[in-house]
Amino acid sequence: MAISRRAFVTSALVSGLLAGNREASALAGEPFPVFESDAKEIPYKFRRRSVDYVTSEPPGTIIVETGPKFLYYVEGNGQATRYGVGVGKAGRTWHGEATIGRKEKWPIWVPTPEHLAEFPDMAKYIHGMPGGRDNPMGARALYLYQGDVDTVIRIHGAVKPTLIGKKTTAGCISLINIDIIHLYERVELGAKVVILAPA
């Protein structure tokens, strides 16, 4: 079936407008595009929301439940902000308590020995991959410490929204970029982090 010139031009214009709208919806002030619409690419239950959450931990604490794959930012008064997360592959998820010892925007990523064993071609980034759209750490990173010791565990952005709600990381906790930015702006250095093992 032949397509008329008018239909072709209309289709091209609509495609251009839709692409333009996506670019227009990018979060302002970021050196690389971050889209609010990424939230629509993850299952509804993993989208950020305020929830009832009873805990003895003080406001400002981060609690990660690795079984159901949720991260809670404790607000106090029985409330928390809940985010869907990606967690470590089987046998790779760290559990315990730590504090936020460092925060970085568009962090440099350095592959771990485990990464290099699984993906030898990552050796080209042994001195670090600059922050950017393809960097596995995403738009922000929160570095977990125990005292002065870096646990090598991070709470960071995810390269793809499809990684949320799955066991895909090398041990870290990942959120979509729009959510890690939201969390990053609220959490303070020294904040307590509790990562719970699956029940």
Residue 81 belongs to a domain with what CATH number? 2.40.440.10
Q: Is residue 23 part of a domain?
A: no
Q: Is residue 24 part of a domain?
A: no
Domain count for the chain: 1
**Nearest CA-CA partner of 169 in 118, 100, 107:** 118
Q: Average per-residue pLDDT in the chain?
A: 87
Q: What is the pTM for the complete model shown?
A: 0.85
Note the pLDDT tens digit of each residue in 28-64.
Answer: 899 999 999 999 999 999 999 999 999 999 999 999 9
**Nearest CA-CA partner of 107 in 130, 81, 73, 76:** 130
Look at residue 53 in the predicted model and tell me its pLDDT: 97
Q: Is residue 19 part of a domain?
A: no
Amino acid found at 96: G
Note the pLDDT tens digit of each residue in 67-79.
Answer: 999 999 999 999 9
Note the pLDDT tens digit of each residue in 123-182.
Answer: 999 999 999 988 999 999 999 999 999 999 999 999 899 999 999 887 899 999 999 999
Note the pLDDT tens digit of each residue in 165-198.
Answer: 999 887 899 999 999 999 999 999 999 999 998 8
Look at residue 112 in the predicted model and tell me its pLDDT: 81
**Nearest CA-CA partner of 180 in 67, 104, 88, 87:** 104
* Close Cβ partners of 146 (under 8 Å, ≥ 6 residues apart): 96, 97, 98, 99
Find the domain containing 179 and state its range.
29-196
Look at residue 170 in the predicted model and tell me its pLDDT: 78
What's the angle, vertex CA 80, arms to CA 78 and CA 86, rounded to 5?
140
Q: Is residue 90 part of a domain?
A: yes
Burial class (CB in 10 A: 0-12, 13-18, 19+), 72: buried
Burial class (CB in 10 A: 0-12, 13-18, 19+), 149: exposed
Look at residue 131 in the predicted model and tell me its pLDDT: 94
Q: Is residue 83 part of a domain?
A: yes
Q: Percentage of residues in the chain with pLDDT exceeding 70?
A: 87
Q: Is residue 18 part of a domain?
A: no
Look at residue 198 in the predicted model and tell me its pLDDT: 84
Q: Is residue 75 part of a domain?
A: yes
Q: Is residue 17 part of a domain?
A: no
What's the angle, vertex CA 16, arms to CA 180 and CA 175, rounded to 5?
10
Please give the Cα distance from 87 to 80 (Å, whole number).
20
